[in-house]
Amino acid sequence: MKTTTPSPNAHPLPSLRWLAGISLATLLWLSAYSQLETLADLLLAAQGLSRQTAAGEALHFFFYDTPKVMLLLTGVVFVMGIVQTFFVPERTRALLAGRRLGLGNVLAATLGIVTPFCSCSAVPLFIGFLAAGVPLGVTFSFLIAAPMINEVALVLLFGMFGWKVAALYLSLGLAVAILAGLLIGQLGMEQHLEDWVQPLRNGQRAEFAGATPTWIERCEAGLAHVRSIVGKVWPYILAGIALGAGIHGYVPEAFMASFMGRDVWWAVPAAVLLGVPMYANAAGIIPVVEALIGKGAALGTVLAFMMSVIALSAPEMIILRKVLKPRLIATFAGIVALGILLVGYVFNLVL
Amino acid sequence: MKNVKVLGTGCANCRNTLALVASVAAEKGVSIALEKIEDLPTIMSYGLLSTPGVVIDGKVVHAGGVPARSKVEAWF
């Protein structure tokens, strides 16, 4: 774990304290990250087990993956917390106001990655965007990208599958968000917004008048982000890795291939359908996913499942129902599901 | 007496914000009229983009996430 709290009286200047704290934490982080394998071996040896046994293999998986994922997560979430202070929703809205379909969708999906977003704010954000004259299709691009491409998902994919899979997830996720938004925009479904939303459209001006935070405030925001995100997801990650470790050690090789392998054509749609009613964060799912893939499940199938779980959740649909009429909700869900389906098949074909 | 409204559709953060405001006000001995607004059209009429939001005497003083305790203390 990264700590950025040096002793309070070490330096009189808070900015110096932050600088020293961050340098020290970075150093500690790097040295810990480079010793992960050694640590796992030591911990395993302390238990008197070897990797030759099923229990040993499972425990080694747990001892290696837990610190690795937690280190990566803490580092990236801290940096993301700082980046997010540059993209408060008000500013993102000002950037998107008056954009046209096309370039606007690309920008919206990209901003969706770095703008802080919580699904409980989905409705105010949605209306706020429309009110400032952001087109419906562009708003949807943002709304799809924001939950689907989050830093926790990317960190876990990177940590467990490497940068290529993380990059593929990022670009395909962006592609789904951009194309789905474009399509919804082209369909011209503005009349399928709830009636009370209609008069609010194109009402407000979109100016950004927030105070610019200082670097210390940005760092504090980063730390707060770590506390709220890592503090919230660590039990899921532990549980996920433990379950993954169990599968890793005990489930026979190629067991999953029979029903989640790439030759099973119905696996991708089944995975998407299965994912919609589930409301989990990426954190708990990916470790399990890694273990499943190790046993022969196809990556595309599993990624489609993951995208579906985090981008198309039943609770979010219920919240959005307050502003969207059923036809628009169905269109939104249908287009995104179709996009995820394509991503799943493409992954299975390419990899 | 200050009129304080917490705007939010009922997520955990909104409830935490309401509790925080109530406890800080009680601690400081400030009497406030605390109100929770859950009706979306009303929330949107304040023009905020993220919830929970806090409105004091008709002015939006906070939006998005649970406010820091020090920030709440500065209001009273």
Which A residues 158-217 touch B at CB under 8 Å? 196, 200, 204
pLDDT band at B59 (very low <50, low <70, confident <90, very high): confident
Q: So what's the pLDDT on residue A258?
A: 64
* Contact assessment for residue A101 and residue A134, using Cβ atoms and an 8 Å cutoff: no
Contacts of A125 in chain B (CB under 8 A): 49-50
pLDDT band at A92 (very low <50, low <70, confident <90, very high): confident
> What is the average per-residue pLDDT within A155-182?
88
Within 10 A of A91 (CB to CB), how many other CB atoms are there?
17
pLDDT band at A9 (very low <50, low <70, confident <90, very high): very low
Contacts of B12 (CB under 8 A, 6+ apart): none
Higher pLDDT pick, B25 / A260: B25
ipTM above 0.85, yes or no: no
* Contact assessment for residue B76 and residue B28, using Cβ atoms and an 8 Å cutoff: yes
Measured CA to CA, the distance from residue A277 to residue A287 in angstroms comes to 20
Which B residues 11-40 touch A at CB under 8 Å? 11, 13-14, 40
Residue A156 has pLDDT above 50, yes or no: yes
B42 lies within 8 A of chain A by CB: no
Contacts of B39 in chain A (CB under 8 A): none
Residue A147 has pLDDT above 70, yes or no: yes
Max alpha carbon distance in chain A (Å)? 70
How far from each other are the two terminal CA atoms of chain B, in whole angstroms?
Answer: 10
Residue A137 has pLDDT above 90, yes or no: yes
pLDDT band at A8 (very low <50, low <70, confident <90, very high): very low
Contacts of B40 in chain A (CB under 8 A): 123, 196, 322-323
Q: So what's the pLDDT on residue A10?
A: 43
Higher pLDDT pick, A289 / A61: A61
Give the chain A residue nearest B68 (alpha carbons). Answer: A224
Measured CA to CA, the distance from residue A252 to residue A250 in angstroms comes to 6
Contacts of B34 (CB under 8 A, 6+ apart): B4, B5, B6, B18, B21, B22, B25
Higher pLDDT pick, A327 / A47: A327
Buried b / exposed e along A228-250 (16+ C-beta atoms within 10 A): ebbeebbebbbebbbebbbbbbe
Residue A182 has pLDDT above 90, yes or no: yes
Parallel, antiparallel, or unpaired for β B32-37 and B2-7? parallel
For the entire predicted model, the pTM comes to 0.80
Q: Of A62-71, A117-126, A273-282, which range is least confident?
A: A273-282
B41 and A196: CB-CB below 8 Å?
yes
Element at A63 (helix H, strand E): helix A54-84
Q: Minimal Cα–Cα distance from A265 to chain B, Å?
A: 39
